[in-house]
Amino acid sequence: MACVLVHTEIEGDQPTDHARAVLGEGRRIASSLGASLHAVAVIGAGDDIPAGHRLVESLGQAGADRVLLVAAERRKPTLWATIGAALVAACEQVRPSLVLLSANAGGRDIGPRLAARLGGAFFAEPAVEAGPRGEVVLSRTVYGGDLWRRISLDELDVIAVVTLDDRRASTRGDDDAEVVQLDGTNASDARVDVLGDGDDDDDGAALEHARVIVVAGAGTTAEALKLVAELAVALGGELGGTRTLCQRGLLPLGREIGVGGRRVSPDLYVVCGASGSMAHLGAVSSDAEIVAIDRDPAAAIFKRARWGLVGTIEELVPQLIAALGVAP
Amino acid sequence: MTVAILLRRALARPGQSDEHEVLGPCERGALVAGLRIAGALGVDAVAIAAGPARREDRVLAMALRTGASRAVRLAADGLDDLDYLGLAEALAATIRTVKADVVTCGDRSIDERTGAVGPAIAELLGYAHVTGILSIAVDGGRVLCERLGDARRERLAVRLPAVLCMRPPRASELDREPEARSGRARTSPQAIDALDADEVGLDLRRLAPRKQTGGRLRPVRGGDQATILSSAAELVTRLEAEALVRRGPR
């Protein structure tokens, strides 16, 4: 039987929210492929996780048929250098046809190298849908949203490694997943030393999970930015900026949305005074509904947006806040 | 020891250069970091690109102007059709040819945004790799990296050989690289070396299967002009109808 393997990051004795979401998607994909779903958790050397342990129960409830426990010399931070060898050992054990990882900083570091090690295909943050024959189709927009890159898993004759964002709802599976613990401890890459944490980068981290984002572009003045920030609050969303705006120092770099900054997947994305450049919109999920506010009716952003308002931020944003029933 | 800086002309569409962005933001980070490491170690920085001269020589000339001591372009047919691993094999062969121990590349390209080629090159060469690097410093035989983790920055020390996948440079970092702004060459630039597949020991026939594993490109349907609304109130009504917003105080 085919096998889908999901790397599930754990904190304490529970899978992270990222991991639960990816495991939920893995459950759906495995069911449609008629495959079994293995959750692989990397544990510390000497950790004892018996059947009935809270972690195993949680992974079973999140959809896993089998829980594979693999020990690594170093578990944190989640990087290829720390747990790559452990994940390779898991793949060699179960020979999956598909491996899923979270599209977070760790998954993006591990996924491509794991795919290369296995000689497989790699897909970053695709949408997953059923094709006309019931097959699983992975697709993502590229070139700033002009093109789709798509592939059906049944066309691949190599393993596929996929990073998924955590927008998926988790699913409910059986509680009684089977547990398999691999022998031995997998060495970490001694060439990479973890020195510790640098500065906190919390400011802007919430953008990656926000359902509503209001973003200010290069055409936004410091005064107009205050209005844009008020709109973000009125919408219950997060405030972001384009590269140009952040590099002008008007917002922290942690709030930059773009190919060189954060990637976001909101439901609603309100763009104030920003172009629709590939460097900017390339980092926005293709299923976000985009609203554009710009004084130039010919601005490129209106070709990407679903709805638009033509006018200045100073004129339109207070009206928008008022229409939302929130005092400006 | 040599530092290889992997560069790639930003593309607006497959095969069509982006006239606004010569280099993507992350490739700029690779250029700044590669030059800094080469300067600190006192070794050559070799800029490498793969593809046709009409497209890639512009970025290689830019690298020479900003301080690279040599530029190499891998000229071979069909490179654009390969997936991440096929392209990584082609670039790894070129890196072996220039005998580089340090490779800097962009964390992700502006067009495909996959972020897979750098780690795949590291795998093929057996080098360490780190992705998402915000800043670097050279400390003896190690490169100290600050990396963007989830909600916090991580500090790592990487012993060479290594592939370092860079995020964009900060404006202040560009300011500290005067050559990058002025266009003055640090060393006398040689002509761009065009190497073919044979010269780097690359068997393109062996890479043919990597043309099927990247998926197919299709135009996105639609792309129509946005519906321009007459008022902010109308916009809120539309958004509310699709449960994207709700009225009233938060």
Contact status, residue A19 vs residue A37, Cβ threshold 8 Å: no
Contact status, residue A268 vs residue A234, Cβ threshold 8 Å: no
pLDDT number for residue B216: 86
Q: Please report residues of A whose CB lies closer than 8 A to that of B224.
A: 303
Split chain A (328 residues) into runs of 10 and give each run's mean pLDDT. 91 88 91 92 89 88 93 93 97 95 94 97 90 86 84 88 77 77 92 82 75 92 94 94 88 85 89 86 85 91 91 94 81
Q: Taking CB atoms and an 8 Å limit, are B83 and A121 in contact across chains?
A: yes
Interchain contact A315–B (C-beta under 8 A): no
CA distance A176 to chain B (A): 31
pLDDT tens for B158-198 read 999 999 999 988 765 655 554 444 444 444 445 799 999 99
Q: SS3 letters for B13-58?
A: ECCEECCCCCECHHHHHHHHHHHHHHHHHCCEEEEEEECCHHHHHH
- Out of A114-128, A192-206, B123-137, B203-217, pick the least confident: A192-206
Q: Kindly provide the ipTM of the predicted complex, given to two decimals.
A: 0.89
pLDDT tens for B79-109 read 989 999 999 999 999 999 999 999 999 999 9
Longest dimension (CA), chain A: 66
- Measured on CA atoms in the order B123, B127, B129, B135, is the torsion positive or negative? negative
Q: Taking CB atoms and an 8 Å limit, are B25 and A259 in contact across chains?
A: yes
**Using a CB cutoff of 8 Å and minimum separation of 24, what contacts does A305-312 make?**
A305/A271, A305/A276, A305/B226, A306/B226, A306/B227, A307/B226, A307/B227, A307/B228, A307/B229, A307/B235, A307/B238, A307/B239, A308/B226, A308/B227, A308/B228, A308/B229, A309/B228, A309/B229, A309/B231, A309/B232, A309/B235, A310/B228, A312/A224
Q: Name the CATH topology of B2-211.
A: Rossmann fold (3.40.50)
Contact status, residue B213 vs residue A156, Cβ threshold 8 Å: yes
Looking at per-residue pLDDT, the higher value among B116 and B179 belongs to B116
- A10 phi, psi to nearest 5 deg: -125, 145
Contact status, residue B60 vs residue B7, Cβ threshold 8 Å: yes
Q: Taking CB atoms and an 8 Å limit, are B239 and A111 in contact across chains?
A: no
Q: Residue B238 and residue B250: Cα distance in Å, rounded?
A: 19
Q: What is the mean pLDDT of residues B7-31?
A: 86
The CATH 3.40.50.620 portion of chain A extends over 3-186
The CATH 3.40.50.1220 portion of chain A extends over 205-323
Write down the CATH number for the domain with range A3-186: 3.40.50.620
Closest CA to A96 of A172, A33, A20: A33
Q: Residue A310 and residue A285: Cα distance in Å, rounded?
A: 24
Interchain contact A189–B (C-beta under 8 A): yes
Closest CA to A260 of B109, B249, B185, B177: B109
Q: Taking CB atoms and an 8 Å limit, are B248 and A320 in contact across chains?
A: no
Interchain contact A267–B (C-beta under 8 A): yes
For helices B232-241 and A313-323, angle between their N-to-C axes, nearest 10 degrees: 50
CB count, 10 Å around CB of A249? Answer: 11
Alpha carbon of B49 to those of B70, B105, B195, B197: distances in Å?
12, 11, 10, 13
Which residue of chain B comes nearest to A305, CA vs CA?
Answer: B226
Mutation target among A16, A99, A101, A113 for the B interface, most CBs of B within 10 A: A113
pLDDT number for residue B223: 58
pLDDT number for residue B182: 42
Write down the CATH number for the domain with range A205-323: 3.40.50.1220
Closest CA to B127 of B8, B210, B250, B4: B4
Check residue A211 and report its DSSP letter: S
Q: Taking CB atoms and an 8 Å limit, are B20 and A277 in contact across chains?
A: yes
Q: Residue B196 and residue A93: Cα distance in Å, rounded?
A: 40
**Domain boundaries of chain B, sorted by first residue:** 2-211
Q: What is the number of helices (H) and of strands (E) in chain A?
A: 9, 18
Q: Please report residues of B whose CB lies closer than 8 A to that of A150.
A: 215-216, 218
Q: Taking CB atoms and an 8 Å limit, are A259 and B113 in contact across chains?
A: yes
